Amino acid sequence: MNPAFARCFGVTPGELLGRPSGDCLSEHPVNAEVRSLLGAPHAVREPVPARVFEVRTLHGTRWLETNPSIIRDGRGQVVGVRAICRDVTERKQLERERDAVLIREQGARIDAEQARLQAERARAEAEGATRAKDQFLATLSHELRSPLSAVLHWTHMLRRGLVEPAKIDHALEIVERNARAQTRLIEDLLDVTRIASGKLSVELTRVDLGSIVHTAVELVRRAAEGKRIALEVQREADVVPVRGDVTRLQQVLENLLTNAIKFTSGGGRVTVVVRRAGPSAELVVRDTGIGITPDVLPHVFERFQQGDPSIAQQYGGLG
C-alpha cells in the first residue's frame, strides 16, 4: 500500500494496512467483479482483464483503473492478487460529460427531426385544405350556376312567347324543379353553417319512421323513375316509434335517397329498410350504385368531403 494510493482515501498507508480490501469499495454495481476477484483470487482465470471500479474516500467517491495480476507461491498456488491502480476520476467525469453532450445532441437531432416532420405534416394538411377549398368553390359555383342557368333560360323563353302552348307546363316544371334544387342547396349550406356554430336547433318528438320513409320515397320517386331505378321499401311489422326531429330525419333520408339515385345507373335498385334493433329502430338505405372507396369512408362525415374529383364533377353535389 503506497502513499499515492492512501492519498486517494485521504489517509496514511498505515491506516489502510490490515483492513479487508473490499472495505474501500463502494456499493456501485461495477464493483461486483472486483469484490469477487479480491475475495476468491484462486477462482480467477488468467489473464485478468483491466477493470475500472469506484471507491469511497474522505474526499468523496473516486474511480480507479487497475490491471490486477495473480500472486503465486513457490509451488504455483494462488496466494493473493497484486493490483496497480491509477486514478481515472477526471477521465470518467469527462466521459460522463461527453455522454451527456451526446445525449443532448441526439435529443436535439430527434427534436429537430420531429419538428421537421411536424412542419411537413402541417404543410401537407394546409395544401390539402387549400386544394379542398378550391375544389369546393369550383363545385359550389357550378352547383349554383346550373339551376340558375336553366331558370333564366326558360323564363326568357316564356317571357318572349317562344314556348309552344303545349310545352308551357313542361317549361314551368323545369323552372320549379331547378328553383327547388337551388333552394335545397342554399338550405344545406345554411345547415352546415349552423352545425359548425352549434346553432342548429333540434326538436325532439315521437316519430313514426314509416311515415318519414313514405314521404321521402315519394319526393324522390320521380327522379328514380326518370332513370328507371326501382325504389323498394322493406319495413318490419314490429318497428317501434322513435324519439327524433321529424324535419331533420326527413332531410337526412331524402338526402341519402337522392345520393343513392344520383350514383346508381339506370335499371338499378335503391332499397330502404326499416327494422327493429332492440329497443330502437334502424333505418338503412342500400343501392346498386358505384359505392364509396375504402379510403374515403373515414371522411364521409367531414364538411364538403367528396371522393374522386372527376366523379364529383360528373355527378355534382357539395359532398
For 135-177, the pLDDT digits (tens) are 767 767 767 787 888 889 999 999 999 989 889 998 998 898 8
Fold of 202-288: Heat Shock Protein 90 (3.30.565)
Q: Note the pLDDT tens digit of each residue in 250-278.
A: 888 988 898 899 889 999 999 999 998 88
Collect all residues with Cβ–Cβ distance below 8 Å to 305 and sequence separation of at least 6.
Answer: 296, 299, 319
Q: Where in the chain is the domain with CATH 3.30.565.10?
A: 202-288
Q: What is the mean pLDDT of residues 21-41?
A: 56
CA nearest neighbour of 288 among 209, 231, 203, 205: 231
| Residue 48 in this model has a pLDDT that exceeds 90 | no
Task: Check whether 18 has a pLDDT greater than 70.
Answer: no
Q: Using CB atoms within 10 A of its CB, is residue 306 exposed (0-12), middle (13-18) or buried (19+)?
A: buried
Q: In what order do the strands lie in the sheet with 51-57?
A: 51-57, 60-66, 85-87
pLDDT of residue 9: 65
Q: Nine-digit cell at 93?
A: 467525469
Query: Does this model's pTM top 0.95?
Result: no
Fold adopted by 3-87: Beta-Lactamase (3.30.450)
Q: What is the pLDDT of residues 84-134, one digit of tens each?
A: 778 888 888 899 899 999 999 999 999 999 999 999 999 988 887 787 777
Residue 288: pLDDT band with limits 50, 70, 90:
very high
User: Which set of grid coordinates corresponds to residue 304?
Assistant: 364538403
- In the chain, CATH 3.30.450.20 covers 3-87
Please write the tens of the pLDDT for every residue from 180-226: 878 877 887 787 777 777 877 888 999 999 899 999 999 889 889 98
The two most distant CA atoms of the chain are separated, in Å, by 136
- Residues 270 and 285 sit within 8 Å (Cβ to Cβ): yes
Instruction: Look at residues 86, 77, 71 and name the one whose alpha carbon lies nearest to residue 38.
Output: 71
